[in-house]
Structure formats: structure tokens, C-alpha cells
Amino acid sequence: MTTTASARRTRRRVAVLGATGAVGQAFIRRLANHPWFELAEVAASERSAGRPYAEAARWIGTDRIPGDIAGRRVVACDPDAVTADVVFSALDASVAGDVEAAFARAGRTVLSNARNYRMDDDVPLVIPEVNAGHLALLETQRRKRGWPGAIVANANCSTIVAVLALAPLHERFGIERLFISTMQAVSGAGYPGVPSLDILGNVVPYISGEEEKIETESLKMLGRLDGDHIVPAAIGVTAHTNRVPVEHGHTICMSLGFGSRVSPDDVRRALEEWQGDERARGLPTAPAHPVEVTSEADRPQPRRDADRGNGMTVTVGRIRRDPVLDVKLVALGHNIVRGAAGASVLNAELMEHNGMLPG
């Protein structure tokens, strides 16, 4: 029988795989003092295993490593070395496929940031405010793969930010055509990431695989659950992706075409009124407003808006008429928080609240 978080007397032990990387560090920050989860283990590659965390990880940021994590020994990403039933994966995609499957086979629930399983038919790709119901795919996953554990994925960072701005509009008006162009922060490439001589004073108009991820993952998340599969949203979408010299925060310019006449005011109202799926409301790290609208002419900006809602709110501005499609706007969100670690932690809270985690 499962036990919901409210009925638990102790916090659930969880682990982070890939704990030394950029996203792994964001997990450590978000799990410090979490009311439902206790960070019990930090795992990374064989290069880091056995070393104290502070020595293995190059801590990015001006804050201190929380609690006693600095002195903890890093363990290997192996189900025999990690004991927690719930693992957050911030693994590099080159290893995430095998490692995450090994954990699911060993009965663990994996909340993954990697791209490997996102587009598999039986893997839920979830933003709690947008498509909490897609978690029902876990039954199909269990039947199909025979894993006692499970894998639940969150999308690529720019896709999550875009979809939070698009979901209220697709729900209300039905989007038919979508043009997306991103300006993505360097922290989205992990650590050490993009060489400084490539990005300082420069823009790189290529991020490997990113355009395809936006064009496919967005349609899966905006799609409809039909029995044991997702029917992707029928939106014609084209994406350009660019890396820019910004530390954190992905900025996304979008032009939208609807099936009916929709004005910029309609779009503004729909975004302001949207609260997201009620199953996500009240979860410990859910923001009061998943989407906020700004009317300032020169916002949103990464430096000023990425941390809204403790990094979990997407800010939308510059909502105006598009002379080719119908309406254009700019969305911005924190790539490492809402786009990665914060997204996984919120998914785990949703599952915990609904009795979907083991134990």
C-alpha cells in the first residue's frame, strides 16, 4: 500500500545521480530543507566516487554547499551503491540510458532530466501544471517493460519554459502554427560547458539536437492521453536555437497562429487567468503563479526575471500582434530550476502527493 506525504511521519530518503554537475548542484539546493524529501545520497561517475562531495564537485554559485553535503562521500551511480527508492537523475545523456534503466529494473523510481527516454511512448513527460494526467502512462510502462520501478522524465529546459507559456493558450484557443527562436543561457550546457572563447561577446546559432527536442517534446506534453498512449498536439512548429552569453535563464521569442481570431488582449487575459492543473497547486515547491505576465516594454530579461517564483515561474511579456501569424510574445524561465532540477522535484512531489512513489 502506498502512503501519501501528508501521512508520512519521516521525510522520504532520496538520492541524486550526477550530483556533481550543474543540474545536480541545483538538486542539492532544492532538496536542502525539503519538507517531504531528505537528500540521503549523492552519486556521480567513477572519477568522483569515494571522494568528499566538495572535492569532487566544482560548486557553481556564491552560496555555500548546503548542510553536511560538502563532507559526504560521493557514491557510484549503481543500484547496489545507492539505497534510496527515489532517485533524481542529472546524468549526462551518454550514460543516462543504461544507468536509469538499471535503477528502474532494481525497483527504484527515477525522475530523469536526460533526453534518453523522453519520447518513448510509455514514458510520461510531465509538467505538473500542464499534463499531470500523463503519469497514467506508468501502468503501460510497467506492463510493457516489466520493471518493478519506473522512469518519469521532464523535458528539455527550453521546451519546459515554452510549454508553460503555450499551455494556457493551447487549452483555450487551440494553437495551429508556432515559430520559436531561443536565446539560451550558458548554464544550459552544463559545466564546464561552452568554451569561454566561443561565447564571450558572441552568439552561437547551434545547439546540438535542441531544435528537434523543442519540436517533438512540446507536442507530446501538449498532447492528449488516449488510453495507453499520447496523441501529440496537432501544431505545426519550427524552432531556431541559439546559445548566448547569459549565465542563467532561457529567453524564447514565439509567434503563434490560432484556429480562430485571437487578439493580444485575449492572450494576455488567458495567461493572467491560468492557474494550471489543480493537482499541482499547493505542492511544496509549486509557485503561486506558474506563469506571470509583465507589461513593461523591455521585459522579461534573464537578469531581472529568471528567479521569479524561486526560479519556478515563467515570465511572459511583449504580447503583441504578429503581422504574419496572429500574436507574438517573449517567454523567459530559469533553465536549471524550472527547466531541470526544480521540474523533477515538482514531479516527485506530485507523485508523492498521489501515492505513486514506492514504500
Q: Summarize as ranges the residues that interact with ligand NAP (CB under 6 A).
A: 18-24, 44-45, 47-48, 77, 90-93, 95-96, 113-115, 156-157, 187-188, 190-191, 335-336, 339-340
* 289 is an active site residue: no
Q: Considering the complex, what minimum distance in angstroms separates the CB of residue 198 from ligand NAP?
A: 16
How many angstroms separate the Cα of 146 from the Cα of each of 85, 122, 141? 17, 12, 8
Q: Are 305 and 222 in contact (CB under 8 A)?
A: no
22/327 with CB nearer ligand NAP: 22
141/159 with CB nearer ligand NAP: 159
* 253 is an active site residue: no
DSSP bridge pairs for 291: 314
Catalytic pick from 157, 248, 334, 353? 157
Question: Taking CB positions, which residue lies at the least distance from ligand NAP?
Answer: 21
Q: DSSP assignment of 123-149, as one string?
A: S-B--HHHHGGGGGHHHHHHHHH--SS
Q: Considering the complex, what minimum distance in angstroms separates the CB of residue 29 from ligand NAP?
A: 13
**Three-state secondary structure call for residue 212:** helix
Q: Considering the complex, what minimum distance in angstroms separates the CB of residue 57 from ligand NAP?
A: 7
The closest alpha carbon to 51, from 70, 73, 28, belongs to 73
Q: Note the Cα 281 to chain centre separation in Å.
A: 17
How many angstroms separate the Cα of 44 from the Cα of each of 52, 74, 81, 114, 253? 11, 7, 11, 14, 35
45/181 with CB nearer ligand NAP: 45
Catalytic pick from 134, 170, 248, 250? 250
Classify residue 207 by its DSSP letter. -
Phi, psi of 18 (to 5 degrees): 80, 35
Q: Considering the complex, what minimum distance in angstroms separates the CB of residue 97 from ligand NAP?
A: 10
175/312 with CB nearer ligand NAP: 312
Q: Considering the complex, what minimum distance in angstroms separates the CB of residue 351 from ligand NAP?
A: 19
Beta-strand ranges (E) seen in the chain are 12-17, 37-44, 75-76, 86-89, 109-112, 150-153, 175-183, 224-226, 229-231, 236-240, 250-258, 291-293, 314-321, 327-333
Q: Considering the complex, what minimum distance in angstroms separates the CB of residue 155 from ligand NAP?
A: 8
Q: Are 74 and 19 in contact (CB under 8 A)?
A: yes
Question: Which residues participate in catalysis according to the annotation?
Answer: 157, 250
